[in-house]
Amino acid sequence: MNFTEPQPTRWIHYSRKTVERAERAVRCAPFKMLLFATMREHSVDLKAIASKAGVQHGYTHRAVSELAAENSLLWLIQVGVLRREVDGQGITDSFRLTPLGHQLINHWQQHSGTIPAPRLLDRVYNSLSRWVRLPGWIQ
């Protein structure tokens, strides 16, 4: 993906490696475009994403347990696509897009309107990146 297209607002420049990892993570996540489009406007609570509620809201392809949904959302935080909402008492169970997440979702909405389906290699590479974390000094 190329983020050099003219944008209505000024975008942060991310390295190709960062964008590719974030794209792959979103494509492999069990979430639909509607969830990310909603997160552009306001935060979404974990309970609205997990289980049957996620399917009813159009956020997931299938019912996903609360633990699985949270793990997927936490991975999207680690790759820089999402952030957790904070209120006056601390971290909440709500999630929102980061600037990188906004760029990815805007790009896909303008070009296809959907999140591209992951290839088998995307799933393998995403799993390796997610579960086999090398120390930063090795990478």
Query: Domains in the chain, please, with CATH?
Result: 16-122 (1.10.10.10)
Q: pTM for the whole thing?
A: 0.84
pLDDT digit string (tens) for 6-15?
A: 445 567 899 9
How far apart CA 81 and CA 23 sit, in angstroms, is 9
> Is residue 27 within 8 Å of 107, Cβ to Cβ?
no
pLDDT band at residue 130, thresholds of 50, 70 and 90?
confident
The pLDDT assigned to 53 comes to 97
SS3 state of residue 44 = strand
Q: What is the DSSP string of 56-124?
A: HHT-BSS-B-HHHHHHHHHHHHHTTSEEEEEETTEEEEEEEE-HHHHHHHHHHHHHTSSPPPPPHHHHH
